[in-house]
Structure 1
């Protein structure tokens, strides 16, 4: 959703210092778990070999990444890949075995109980698949609960909760109980409760996986809207590739506790790192993910103000329609400057998965 590119940051993500910085993170379950990251021979074993040798499972295996301010960072993988364990390690809901985690440069693993409580209450709020709403409380009081825990006065917290209830589309439902709400409405209450404490980061652990498809799509749109309006940093866990592609500025694709590829949705679809990723993205409609930046021929076009000009983040599907309507190649324009040209043949080549034309200019 955000495509600002920073020198030395080819993934096209939000610039600035990282909110979360994770380096060489491990979470190992089993006897003498701390020996696994420290022993290169054990660390190099595949999951079956590690279990046979030590009885241990590396749910998170030497993972490193940064989450930058204002981006939606998606961690995706199948069941058992380690994605939910990873997000719980960020706030030490699960204690890591080894590695470093920092939020705004502060060492999370060194935090005492008081500082850790402050992290979870104020700085990084979780939104879970299971809403955990208090059944005897109204929508308004559920949303205000985190503020109550923080010691915010009743009038102030209810005013803040009412504002957030309206923001997530539940205006008029403030006095209902959770039992009177649909699944999608209950999930909106869970989202509102997390937003009410104004966290620096929202952490989503497969929040929509139990919802019906139409409700799930509505909630995805809600996340997109909130991110567009507020620019809030989000870490989103999902097993659904279409959800990851829709929401993520960058995606970390996990398998057996490892990150097998980290990049923008466009990078992952256009240049899968291995056969596992290639199989994952095989059925993705490329024209809905890849942009004209991938398809264009670099160079000036002489008419950057032409009405058929396209922005570089326009998806190929829209570009095909624009070129077909005009009957001519289209300029790719950013900031009044022509970056390149796309024509029908190049666009269809990208859709068909032909080697990226952009490589011709290298």
Structure 2
């Protein structure tokens, strides 16, 4: 009945991911029955050795409500303190390769920036979801209770822009006005805490990638990239932006989007030509694209051969049918028609008896 952690070295070499489990029976230390507690997959019973089970960290046994005071205060000091504490705990779990547990702490840390809409100051930058896409927005005026009217600041995915505040606000005022409900709000961007926000989103993307959740990883990396692009007079967070582009490139590779993966990898290399990780990802993407092109050419060649064979077979059948039809027609013509029926070599098959016709 105790919740413990199944160490990563107990899993298959290809998986190497730790996870939380519920101990069901422990009569035999060589065969302990446990139940997987992965919230993103179906429950699964496993039989493991007792030596592979580890106790949870002390902070994991705390009530989550004691760790996160979401929306309780908008004081920056309180928000940052909570987020930093949760981030450090998530990092510890990440090192233990318990990515499912780590990402929960990163998300709790991000939730600490989700203060009530009415408490976010005017002029603040927020991250919102509109039409299933992440956008940066500036809080321009207050609407009805529980909502804000904001000007969306749209960024092009096709290029990387390092924007300062004046440029961002100018772009926002040219954008469209939308009403944002709490469900659309994804966080208040405190300028001085951009690095923390980027780190949390990037760490969440790493966890999602390790767990095979590529779509979630793309969203998390995109959120980090959006935040990192803003320049609040302190310079853009280039390192965080490169990291988010690299992570998003890997996520696109995992789901087969090689053209988008190439775009992100090239942007990362352009920002930091000296970054080995960016160069490595770029080389990997180029190799994958070259391999896919070879496979496409091979497939096209095979399809071409099959098509030629099919056409050749069709033409052969067509010629055979035409020849058979012509032969049949020729046979009918050489037979002389119905007038010759009953004759053979000019003689009657049934000759008339002598005596001629009857009178």
State TM-score, norm by structure 1. Answer: 0.29
State TM-score, norm by structure 2. Answer: 0.29
Q: Larger C-alpha radius of gyration, 1 or 2?
A: 2
Which structure shows the bigger proportion of residues in helix conformation?
2
